[in-house]
Chain A
Amino acid sequence: MSEVILISKNNVEVPISREAASVSPVLRSMLSSPFIEQQQNKIELKDIESHVLQKVAEYLEYHQKYIKVSENEDIPDFEVPTEMSLELLLVADYLNI
């Protein structure tokens, strides 16, 4: 399973699996040919603060983990810190997740 690096505003690198990154249609498009992100496995998201990007990565992994669970299994709620919710909403809108 290959890894993709998301780079935040202050050049903080947030590693994430390619499958998880593909949960976002925006990141998925970036990772598909012929974009440079596909070759470098790095996606620059310089408008996004590192702590927000980390939360986004957490959500993508969470989504990837639970998307295939069976009907009978429980899915825990994804926790969003209150103080981050506005900023996270805008980023989520941008990434269409």
Chain B
Amino acid sequence: MYRGRNRPRGKATEDNQVRGPNSALTQFLKEQGINAESIRQKWLKSRKTEEEQPSDGVKSESQEPTSVPKNTTRGRRRPLGSSSDDDDDDYDDDDGDDDEDGLELDDQSVGESDDEGKEDSETTRFEESKSTTPRLDGNSRLKRYGIDDEDSDEAEYDDNKSSRTVSETPVLEITQEQAEQKLKRSRQQLQQRRRKKKRAAELLDRKTRRISTLQDTCIAQISSNILKVQRNANAGDESISTKIRDTLGGLSTQNMNKLARTLSKNRALDDHTLQLFLRTNLHTLSFHDCSKLSYEGYKQLAIFAPQLSELSLQMCGQLNNEALLYISEKLPKLTSLDLDGPFLINEATWDGFFARMKGRLSAFHVSNTHRFTNSSLESLLRNCGDSLVSLKLSRLDDVSDYSIISKYLKHENLERLALEYPNKEEYITDDVVSAILAGAGRNLKHLDLNGCTALTDTTILNLKDAFAQNEDNISILESLELEELDQISTDAVVLLFSQIQMPELKFCSLKRCLQLEDMALTELFLNKAAQTLVSLVLNSLKELNGECFEAMSCPKLERLDIGFMGCANDKLVKKLGEQNPKLEILEVFGDNLVTGKAHIRSGLTVIGRQSDTL
């Protein structure tokens, strides 16, 4: 990247000691010779003006030039300044920021229409008149400022030398045809200049890709068209969203969520692109990145998407109190709400929201907010506890009393329970979880206790007891996540998997359950769960020595993570590929014994080998 301070400074500049705000963009434009072109543009326009009023131009040339040079410059500045147009404004602004630009402009005797530039020019002119530095011709000046001679702008500049020289040439000698050609050429160069400016801006934005991705191009197109349609439509026009979708080609409702995911992935979901999702018949909507949605956007969503029953808003930092209440009021069919990062919502609003959602909220997931308090949790459970079938509380810094959950959630309809990463580990203890499991555990389909590091074998045994109430000791658990429970032992897990059959288990994560040994996993692989598992995470189970994999045969397993396991090696990779026919992705990050020589079954992708390079 260009550094202005590294640039050798000319003597004149040093003499002037003029310092001004000097942006990298200005430096870049200068380096690209854009100043010279801007000067040329002005000169062309001034000449055109002079052609239109030849008598005036000749008069000013003949009357003033030789005797009083300074006045000559001033005399020419007036018509030039008046002829500056919008295209040059950007550069004028930049010029005005920079002392060296001021000098350069003055050297070439081109007037500035804006005050800043004029002021700089005036100052420099005064300094220059005091100094004895001889005037440089155009080429020398360009070299002095480090501008490449090969640049077309400079070449053009050289053709004409300087505006001073040309203005002394009889204007009438240039034919109309020549003028048109030059104008055409100048237009092309203007375009080129814009591209260069764009390139400079991209550099400043750390964009290294010169070619935009097709996704970016499409999103830019979509955004600009939404803006265009919005401008042309009346504020109260209800068909605006339909118009937008029709203009852009339309999408089926099935693809709407794909579009939402794509926009989120590209960090392009904002109030404008949100218009695409309004006035649709969507029942389910998931926005994975709402960080650019304003509270007005949320209100619009609440008003214009009344069919929504399930709404997921991740990273919704701009969701405010008013917008949340709007959601509860304007979405009569809403039953499921998943909010990540709603830190603007205060206690009173949570209370009001749950009061409004009383009896109809069946799923509530909240994470990453410090304003969801014990009181808010109590309000949730008091108002909606009877209807809740799915509850997720994750990373809530101000909730310390999880024990109240068991007081309200006693019904057997609870299907999903996720209690993750409490602020302090003692907030979620064996007693808390056991009380919940005793009341509502047997019908759980999803249990997620990630990061509750205070939990011990007691929880596992209580889980076993809860499922033992079912007929034939069968659980209907579909996903079990026990990440980072470093206090649970092999014995407890063996007992759980040996006594409770889990024929529905599809997802299991035992990541960083550091005490688990081979026997625990062997028991899992002997359980009916082995026949249904689709994804298994065994990351960081450092006590395993690999014996458990002898018993492993999971016909439906597609993803397996054996990262940071000392026993993982080339042989194991080969064996896992052979024993699990549907295994597609095997993660081996941190397994330094898995090398490039490992035999990998076709159709299996091994991710994270040290030997693999991009």
Contact = CB atoms under 8 A, between A and B. Distances in A.
Interface of A: 34, 56, 59, 62-63, 66-67, 69, 74-75, 77-78, 80, 82-90, 92-93, 95, 97
Interface string B477-490: 00000000000000
A82 B225 contact: yes
A83 B217 contact: no
A74 B192 CA distance: 7
B251 to A, nearest CB: 5
A89 B212 CA distance: 13
Nearest to A60: B214
20 contacts: A59-B214, A62-B211, A75-B195, A78-B212, A78-B217, A82-B249, A83-B247, A85-B222, A85-B225, A86-B222, A86-B245, A86-B259, A87-B249, A88-B218, A89-B215, A89-B259, A89-B262, A92-B214, A93-B215, A97-B213
B451 to A, nearest CB: 32
**Interface of A (DSSP majority class):** helix
B211 A86 contact: no
User: How many B residues are at the interface, by size bracket?
Assistant: 20 to 34
A63 B210 CA distance: 10
B250 interface: yes
Given A80-B217, A97-B213, A90 B262 contact: yes
Interface in B350-407: none
Nearest to A88: B218
Contacts of A92: 213-215, 218
A72 to B, nearest CB: 8
Contacts of A89: 215, 218-219, 222, 259, 262
A74 B217 CA distance: 17
Nearest to B195: A74
Contacts of A80: 214, 217-218, 221
Contacts of B211: 62-63, 66-67, 75, 78
Contacts of A77: 217
B247 A82 contact: yes
A26 B600 CA distance: 21
B249 A85 contact: yes
Interface string B202-213: 000000001111
A80 B265 CA distance: 20
Contact of A90 (B192, B217, B258, B602): B258
A95 B195 CA distance: 28
A91 B472 CA distance: 49
Nearest to A52: B249
A69 B199 CA distance: 14
Contacts of B251: 86-87, 90
B607 interface: no
Given A87-B249, A90-B262, A78 B214 contact: yes
**Most A CB atoms within 10 A — which of B219, B221, B255, B261?**
B221
A82 B221 contact: yes
A43 to B, nearest CB: 17
The 3 closest A-B pairs by CB, nearest first: A89-B218, A92-B214, A93-B262
Contacts of B225: 82, 85
A36 to B, nearest CB: 12
Contact of A85 (B218, B261, B602): B218
B248 interface: yes
A39 to B, nearest CB: 14
A66 B211 CA distance: 8
Contact of B259 (A67, A90, A95): A90
A59 B276 CA distance: 25
Nearest to A67: B211
B579 to A, nearest CB: 21
Nearest to A55: B214
